[in-house]
Chains A and B, each alone.
Chain A
Amino acid sequence: MLTGIAITSIVVCFVLFIILFIWLYAIAEKQEEKNKKSKESHRRIAEMLGAIIDSPTNTSQSDEIYVLSSFIDKDKHERIDILSNILIEGLLTDAEDERGRKALFMVFELLKPQLHYSKMLRKGTANEKAYACKMLSAFYQVNEIPEIRKYIFDKNKELSYNASLAISILGDEDCLVKLIDSYKTNYDYSHRIILELFRIYSGDIRLLAIRCLENSNNYIKASIFKAVAKYKIVEFEIHYLYGAQDRDPNIRVASIKALCEIGNPKYEQTLINAAQDTMWYVRSTAVKGLGKINTVNSRRALLDAVRDNEWWVRYNAAHTLVSMDGGLEMAEKVIGGYDKFAADAVKFALYKTYNI
């Protein structure tokens, strides 16, 4: 009995070994074949696009596009993807090859690769839909917004994430407001995703920010302030001023950051107050702005900040000091002063900035 079991187990192991070996060979071969095919398709498509761009006449260009179309139709799923990526890269590039761009645009108009992704968005798996969102937004297919909207709250994270980015690229304000509002209670994503949604938004950032602020909580408010700081939106300045005195340190940091970007001397006192905040990260943000406004009082506050107890504040203050107009004379005073830590911070800043 035992012998029988033992021999059977050896036979089973051996059979399994043979199966695994054949399986391994099959996967490896499939993999190699796929790689070769993909490389070859890539090469051929690039070649054909080159021929289209270099075609001397419209007729010959149309002929070349027809050849490309037939080539793609033979293995549409893979080849249309290769073509799309080349087109996106070529159409979005800043190169001044106007002729090339026109030719690529013509290929896009005639072959309509976006239809492939449109179909994928409706009939694909969740991951394919996510990919379709990405490609359709890259092709700026605004007409697909209603379909993409369906997925922004999908339970598949990749799909909802890609759909969110897509609606931002396509500039769907209503949907984006709704989405950002949902982040009030959903902390799965980092607040940096909100910043990213603003960065890639193709619509009016100011309007979007105003609408998002309407029902926001502190978390969203701070994220929006950070996201729009670089746009220096005038009507937000009042929000920033109130924010600089908020009890929530995150709001204070975001507001101070935005006021620093604006760099208007009329906010001198607010920044000086922030440079004396109880939280070190508020102080370290404020000192950057003090250099920008560069008033007598701000310089004095900056000199105090170089002697801060927190190293990061000293570090930021020293960098600001040596980079601002007239800062080098002040830096000299700090180096010759009694505070060793302040002097070290300034020396380090001088070396990093001027190699001295």
Chain B
Amino acid sequence: MGILRSIVFYFNIFCMLYTLALSFVYIIQIVISYFVIRQNNEKKIAKDHKHYINSDNLLPISIIVPAFNEEENIIENIYWMLNIEYPEHEVIIINDGSTDNTHSKIVAGYKLKQINPPIKISLKTKQIRAVYFNPQYPNLIYVDKEPGGKSDALNTGINISKYPLFVCLDADSMIERDAILKISTEFLKDTKTVVAGGFVRIANGSVIENGKWKRFKMPNLTIERFQIIEYFRAFLSGRVSWNSTNSLLIVSGAFGVFNKSIVIEAGGYKTDTIGEDMEIIVTLHQYLRNKKRKYTIKFIEDAVCWTQGPMSVHDIRTQRRRWQIGLMDSLLHHKSMVLNPKYGSVGLLSLPYAWIFEFFGALVEGFGYFVIPLAFLFNELSLFFFLLYLAVSTLLGILISLGGLILEQNTNRGAMTVKQCMQLTPYAMLENFGYRQFITLCRVEGILRYHGLKSTWSKVKREPFNQ
């Protein structure tokens, strides 16, 4: 009993220090991001992506869209993808063995006919059943293939694509019309750019017309409001700050632009993972640093893609579990990079951070929810300190969430009115009472069920965008 008490006591202390350290790191990230975003705002007037709308000197781009059971939005989303502001692009839809009506809807919706195009097999993939095309939509290619997962679908898209840059885009997401234009000019101005990711925003509630965001409307469900706050925090604090040291570990699978030849050189997407978005970025870091090549992986907060956040507890649980498994997979696969000076800021900063705070964070926080009350029960923690710990950790959590909202306002996008911003503020507080704990438990579940859930698409139910 004495040993158990000692374990509980020390774990207790460890949890408290860990929470403080984590909050401290988050606050530093917010401060760095605040200044970076301000600097980027100042640069905005000098940016001139619109100059290239009518130029034939932009790098042509292939938009690769893996689809699995996407019958709800797919027809409409393909339409917006075909109509983005970009001089030369193709849209490649890869149906990864959908079990719903995705296939028939696309074929009928765009009057596609089966063709037999030449394909250069740069990456090994599952078999293609058929390729479809309609000369009326010369930029659209639809591929029906054997199921192999999202990574396999992306690799198929890379094989089919004919342009030097490719965008991986989720079938249930909608990019803003000028988003790719904004990102691809980065590849012109800096030849070291190998990947550039955009800002994925939660579309729930927002009104989007003709692929253009019109106005923000507060979503109805509490769970959606929490996710808005979460995305602000994750993208504007995490991604922006890691971007400043060229050590981003993830470019969202929903929207990223890649240099195709480098991705092929690095072996393409690893097919035995569901966290392909993180895996490909860490693989590229490893490959390019092994080759001692100069490169940059960028996050462009101004290039926006809209996605629908899950609207049910079940769906959010599935999503977060999947994210955690993806994270764990990449961290385990690239463990040799950790604290290895050869990999620079990635090996010395971002990967250790991901191990300590993203991976173990879920475990420490999860077990903390049980052990700290246990310590209180065992009288190893006085009521005063128990409440104090709760108060400090909650207040820090609220400060960090508010920081995310401040960063969003700092982007000068002017998306929300004062009233809407104030309406969201209580959710920045409330998410620390229940939601955050629920997400942590989903992440712990992901870790515990790592082997069982490692190779599923884990679909989340979506609804059509507000028009």
Asked if A and B bind, the verdict is yes
Pair A28/B416 contact, Cβ less than 8 Å: yes
Q: When chains A and B are docked, how far (Å) is the Cα of A158 from the Cα of B133?
A: 41
Closest to A351 in B: B115
Q: For residues 161 through 206 of chain B, which have their beta carbon under 8 Å from a beta carbon of chain A?
A: 162, 187-192
B101-137 near A? 1/0 per residue, CB < 8 Å: 0000000000001011111100000000000010100
Pair B48/A134 contact, Cβ less than 8 Å: yes
Given known A3-B384, A127-B43, A165-B48, contact A344–B116 (CB-CB < 8 A): yes
Pair B418/A25 contact, Cβ less than 8 Å: yes
Closest to A35 in B: B414
Chain A residues with CB under 8 Å of B402's CB are 17, 20-21, 24
The size bracket of the interface on B is 35 or more
Q: When chains A and B are docked, how far (Å) is the Cα of A35 from the Cα of B191?
A: 36
Pair B45/A193 contact, Cβ less than 8 Å: no
Stretch of B52-60, B261-269, B453-461 on the interface side: B52-60
Q: In the assembled complex, how far is the CB of residue B58 from the closest CB belonging to chain A, in whole angstroms?
A: 7
- A67 interfacial by beta-carbon distance below 8 Å: no
Pair A157/B189 contact, Cβ less than 8 Å: yes
Q: For residues 19 through 51 of chain A, which have their beta carbon under 8 Å from a beta carbon of chain B?
A: 20-21, 23-25, 27-29, 31-32, 34-35
Chain A residues with CB under 8 Å of B51's CB are 165
Chain B residues with CB under 8 Å of A134's CB are 46, 48
Chain B residues with CB under 8 Å of A157's CB are 189-190
Q: When chains A and B are docked, how far (Å) is the Cα of A28 from the Cα of B423?
A: 12
Chain A residues with CB under 8 Å of B388's CB are 6-7, 10
Q: In the assembled complex, how far is the CB of residue A290 from the closest CB belonging to chain B, in whole angstroms?
A: 18
- B417 interfacial by beta-carbon distance below 8 Å: yes
Q: When chains A and B are docked, how far (Å) is the Cα of A161 from the Cα of B120?
A: 37
Q: When chains A and B are docked, how far (Å) is the Cα of A68 from the Cα of B421?
A: 35
A-B CB contacts (within 8 Å), total count: 139
A191-213 near B? 1/0 per residue, CB < 8 Å: 01101100100000000000000
Q: For residues 241 through 282 of chain A, which have their beta carbon under 8 Å from a beta carbon of chain B?
A: none
A320-356 near B? 1/0 per residue, CB < 8 Å: 0000000000000000000001001101100111110
Q: When chains A and B are docked, how far (Å) is the Cα of A355 from the Cα of B134?
A: 8
- A128 interfacial by beta-carbon distance below 8 Å: yes
Pair B187/A190 contact, Cβ less than 8 Å: yes
Partner of B403 from A20, A35, A127, A131 at Cβ < 8 Å: A20
Given known A24-B409, A28-B409, A127-B42, contact A188–B395 (CB-CB < 8 A): no
- A: residues with CB less than 8 A from B are 3, 6-7, 9-10, 13-14, 16-17, 20-21, 23-25, 27-29, 31-32, 34-35, 125, 127-128, 130-131, 134, 157-159, 161-162, 165, 187-190, 192-193, 195-196, 199, 311-312, 314-315, 341, 344-345, 347-348, 351-355
- B392 interfacial by beta-carbon distance below 8 Å: yes
Pair B116/A348 contact, Cβ less than 8 Å: yes
Q: In the assembled complex, how far is the CB of residue A175 from the closest CB belonging to chain B, in whole angstroms?
A: 19
Pair A13/B392 contact, Cβ less than 8 Å: yes
- B220 interfacial by beta-carbon distance below 8 Å: no
Chain A contact residues: helix, strand, loop or mixed: helix
Chain B residues with CB under 8 Å of A23's CB are 406
- B385 interfacial by beta-carbon distance below 8 Å: yes
Q: When chains A and B are docked, how far (Å) is the Cα of A17 from the Cα of B48?
A: 38
Given known A6-B392, A10-B391, A158-B47, contact A345–B118 (CB-CB < 8 A): yes
Pair B57/A24 contact, Cβ less than 8 Å: no
Q: When chains A and B are docked, how far (Å) is the Cα of A286 from the Cα of B425?
A: 62
Q: When chains A and B are docked, how far (Å) is the Cα of A161 from the Cα of B186?
A: 12
Chain A residues with CB under 8 Å of B191's CB are 187-190
Partner of A127 from B46, B187, B414, B417 at Cβ < 8 Å: B46
Q: When chains A and B are docked, how far (Å) is the Cα of A161 from the Cα of B49?
A: 12
Q: In the assembled complex, how far is the CB of residue A310 from the closest CB belonging to chain B, in whole angstroms?
A: 8
Partner of A128 from B45, B162, B384 at Cβ < 8 Å: B45
A-B CB contact pairs (8 Å), 17 listed: A6-B388, A10-B388, A13-B391, A17-B402, A24-B409, A27-B410, A127-B42, A131-B45, A157-B189, A192-B59, A193-B189, A195-B57, A196-B52, A199-B57, A341-B118, A348-B116, A351-B133
- B346 interfacial by beta-carbon distance below 8 Å: no
Q: For residues 392 through 433 of chain B, which have their beta carbon under 8 Å from a beta carbon of chain A?
A: 392, 395-396, 398-399, 402-403, 405-406, 409-410, 412, 414, 416-418, 421-422, 425
- B: residues with CB less than 8 A from A are 42-48, 51-52, 55-59, 113, 115-120, 133, 135, 138, 162, 187-192, 384-385, 388, 391-392, 395-396, 398-399, 402-403, 405-406, 409-410, 412, 414, 416-418, 421-422, 425
Partner of A162 from B48, B385, B416 at Cβ < 8 Å: B48
Chain B residues with CB under 8 Å of A130's CB are 45-46
Pair A348/B135 contact, Cβ less than 8 Å: no
Partner of B422 from A14, A28, A165 at Cβ < 8 Å: A28
Question: Most chain-A CB neighbours within 10 Å: which of B44, B187, B402?
Answer: B402
Q: When chains A and B are docked, how far (Å) is the Cα of A158 from the Cα of B162?
A: 30
Q: When chains A and B are docked, how far (Å) is the Cα of A20 from the Cα of B396?
A: 12
Q: In the assembled complex, how far is the CB of residue B128 from the closest CB belonging to chain A, in whole angstroms?
A: 13
Pair A315/B118 contact, Cβ less than 8 Å: yes
Q: In the assembled complex, how far is the CB of residue A16 from the closest CB belonging to chain B, in whole angstroms?
A: 6
Chain B residues with CB under 8 Å of A21's CB are 402, 425
Partner of A344 from B118, B133, B189 at Cβ < 8 Å: B118
Pair B399/A199 contact, Cβ less than 8 Å: no
Pair A351/B187 contact, Cβ less than 8 Å: no
Q: In the assembled complex, how far is the CB of residue B419 from the closest CB belonging to chain A, in whole angstroms?
A: 9
Chain A residues with CB under 8 Å of B399's CB are 13, 16-17, 20
Partner of B45 from A127, A312, A345, A353 at Cβ < 8 Å: A127
Closest to A197 in B: B57
Chain A residues with CB under 8 Å of B190's CB are 157, 188-189
Chain A residues with CB under 8 Å of B135's CB are 351-355
Chain A residues with CB under 8 Å of B417's CB are 28, 32
Q: In the assembled complex, how far is the CB of residue A248 from the closest CB belonging to chain B, in whole angstroms?
A: 18
Given known A20-B406, A189-B189, contact A10–B43 (CB-CB < 8 A): no
Chain B residues with CB under 8 Å of A196's CB are 52, 55, 57, 188
Pair B117/A24 contact, Cβ less than 8 Å: no
Closest to B54 in A: A199
Partner of B406 from A9, A24, A348 at Cβ < 8 Å: A24
Q: In the assembled complex, how far is the CB of residue B403 from the closest CB belonging to chain A, in whole angstroms?
A: 7
Pair A348/B392 contact, Cβ less than 8 Å: no
Shortest 7 CB-CB contacts between residues of A and residues of B: A130-B46, A13-B395, A158-B46, A28-B421, A311-B118, A27-B409, A131-B45
Closest to A7 in B: B388
Q: When chains A and B are docked, how far (Å) is the Cα of A123 from the Cα of B59?
A: 35
Q: When chains A and B are docked, how far (Å) is the Cα of A162 from the Cα of B46?
A: 7
